[in-house]
Chains A and B, each alone.
With several copies, the nearest count.
Chain A
Amino acid sequence: MLKQYSFEKTAVQTFAGNVSLAMRTENLQVFYGANHAMHDADLGFPKNQITALIGASGSGKSTYLRSLNRMNDGIATVTGKIWYHDVDINEPNVNIYEIRRHIGMVFQRPNPFAKSIRENIVYALKANGIKGKAELEERVETSLKGAALWDEVKDSLDKSALALSGGQQQRLCIARSIAMEPDVLLLDEPCSALDPISTVKVEETLLQLQKKYSIIIVTHNMQQAARVSSQCAFFHLGHVMEYTPTATMFSNPQIPATQDYISGSFG
């Protein structure tokens, strides 16, 4: 049985006044029917930095992440506010398609479309009205370069994306997201289906990408969180227990739950 930790004792940083934030949630709560899966999450995500969300399975990381670009619409009830450019994008009348263009998402299991590599990237662009052949070509190239995949696939852009290896597929999904030129990139355990080499590649890509994008990544792998993130939020049973700079969290966790989780003696 799991140890009981008090949800009263939390340590969540607030960036009072000194950092520019890409997104912020206020009192975010998520319910799957009667299941209260996320309680009162108040987190801010600094621009052009990588924020990691860690925690045990079922602690609500994915639930929280998916709420940020309204992917939980129709699946869960999300209350509270999600601030993005001073707009509460959790209101019913916002245009969710527009939101998702600005807040891209990459999933745990690589999910390229069953189309060619080029089509994977071009498809959504076209759907958003970008027509010019030259522009499309250029976006394909820059996004694949951005995802560090260009060199490996530039000669086979018309091959099926399904023929790529898992790691390549995942980087293609990243490329597909950044081709839309979003502000924020959400990644849900992007490396858990990948081997260590592919993982390293994806991590390097992320470190590059943070120059242009604000990144929020869910990971099971604490080493990964330590390697890539600037700050780290620790989730436990639907509560944010601690949110501190990554260095602080791993060297000097503030509360017992985090200490136990980091040291592996948790649960």
Chain B
Amino acid sequence: MGAKRTDFIATVIINLIVAAVVGILIFLLAYILIAGLPHVSWSFLTGTTDAFSGAGGIGVQLFNSFYLLVLTMLISIPISLGAGIYLAEYAKDNWRTSLIRSAIEVLSSLPSVVVGLFGFLLFVVKFKIGFSVISGAIALTFFNLPLLTRNIEESLSAVPRNQREAGLSLGLSKWKTEIGIILPVALPGIVTGIVLSAGRVFGEAAALIYTAGQSAPVTNFADWNPMDAASPLNPFRPAETLAVHIWKVNTEGLASNASQLSAAASAVLIIAVLLFNLGARVLGNFLYRRVTASK
């Protein structure tokens, strides 16, 4: 049977390809974890970095990464939700919409260096905000927006039309229909999208080097008033993230154990992304069940 044999061969080839891909993935993860994990300790996770050698812990950087991520998401989720709804619901199918879509996609494919430099010249220099969490968050928002917007639009459009008709035929406004009926159904897809973009944001360095800065001033973790200069929550302080830290240790680090430090930091970063992914997945499912009352 020719067809059957072809089928068999094709299946074998695909399995080989997958094996190769999985092999690469496992190698990468193993490489990072094996090189890094032995150097990870509690004091490494919570300690502060020695500013001159780059040695020491990464507590502040870890916090900065999460803080920046949260701030970025706080800014970008509402905007992309609004924009996604606009595209899914209000945008007519004409040249203007297609221009808007192109604009969004161009933004998403801009190299992050360029975004970073733009953020630098605009926020840091022009608006004199300086190297700060907020500058970094806005720069990250720039390239988070297109990803999230596209994802939200797609998730919303994937909800069957008859759900929309159901809402509209009851006299609900378009907005109410979209927010109360379509959005909950689209939620798992949206959460997955947020996870994916969160991963990218978490690992981004190029855009942050010039915006959030490369220094992690020691902060006072007992002071949670965002207005205080020493507070970790102060959005106007410079904030080196984990990814930037890895970059810096690798490029300028003077410590004799620089490579171990960066390996350890990389391992922590990967694990953080992993935990974050898992958490968001669980949350997505939970929300979905809550909202749709299924099971």
Contact = CB atoms under 8 A, between A and B. Distances in A.
B88 to A, nearest CB: 14
B176 interface: yes
Which of A104, A109, A128, A176 has most B Cβ within 10 Å? A128
Interface stretch (B147-155, B160-168, B273-281): B160-168
Interface string A123-154: 11001110000000000000000000000000
B94 interface: no
Interface in B1-27: 1-4
Contact of B292 (A71, A99, A115): A115
Contacts of B3: 97, 127-129
A119 interface: yes
A101 interface: yes
A194 B295 CA distance: 24
Given A124-B172, A127-B176, A177-B169, A111 B293 contact: no
The majority secondary structure among interface residues of chain B is helix
Interface stretch (B51-59, B98-106, B114-122, B180-188): B180-188
A109 B163 CA distance: 10
A159 interface: yes
Contacts of A128: 3, 171
B293 A101 contact: no
Interface residues of A, number: 35
A261 interface: no
B180 A105 contact: no
Contacts of A69: 169
Contacts of A200: none
A218 interface: no
A109 B181 contact: no
Contacts of B180: 123, 127
Given A107-B165, A114-B185, A160 B293 contact: yes
A114 B170 contact: no
Given A114-B184, A127-B176, A127-B180, A71 B166 contact: no
Is the contact region of chain A dominated by helix, strand, or loop, or is it mixed?
Answer: mixed
Given A127-B180, A160-B295, A163-B294, A111 B173 contact: no
Contacts of A115: 181, 184, 291-293
Interface string A81-124: 00000000000000101111100111101011111100100011
A173 interface: yes
A123 B163 CA distance: 13
A204 interface: no
A262 interface: no
Given A97-B3, A113-B163, A127-B176, A162 B168 contact: no
A111 B168 CA distance: 12
Interface string B265-295: 0000000000000000000000000011111
Contacts of B172: 97, 124, 127
A78 interface: no
Contact of A162 (B167, B176, B291, B292): B292
Nearest to A123: B180
A158 B293 contact: yes
B100 to A, nearest CB: 18
Most chain B beta-carbon neighbours within 10 Å: one of A71, A111, A158, A163: A111
B160 A97 contact: no
A38 interface: no
Contacts of A71: 165, 168-169
A112 B166 contact: yes
A99 B168 CA distance: 11
A100 B291 CA distance: 25
A180 interface: yes
B170 A176 contact: yes
A249 B163 CA distance: 35
A146 to B, nearest CB: 15
Contacts of B2: 129
A111 B162 contact: yes
Nearest to A112: B166
B4 A97 contact: yes
Contacts of B160: 111
Given A98-B1, A124-B167, A173-B166, 19 more contacts: A95-B1, A100-B169, A105-B165, A107-B166, A107-B169, A109-B162, A111-B162, A111-B166, A113-B167, A115-B292, A116-B293, A119-B293, A123-B180, A123-B181, A127-B172, A127-B176, A159-B293, A160-B292, A160-B294
28 contacts: A69-B169, A71-B169, A97-B172, A98-B1, A99-B171, A105-B169, A106-B169, A107-B169, A109-B162, A111-B160, A111-B162, A113-B166, A113-B181, A114-B181, A114-B185, A115-B181, A115-B293, A124-B172, A127-B172, A128-B171, A129-B2, A160-B295, A163-B294, A173-B166, A176-B170, A177-B169, A177-B170, A180-B170
Interface of B: 1-4, 160, 162-163, 165-173, 176, 180-181, 184-185, 291-295
By Cβ-Cβ distance, the 10 closest A-B pairs, closest first, are A116-B293, A101-B171, A105-B169, A111-B162, A114-B292, A100-B171, A124-B170, A160-B294, A111-B166, A160-B293
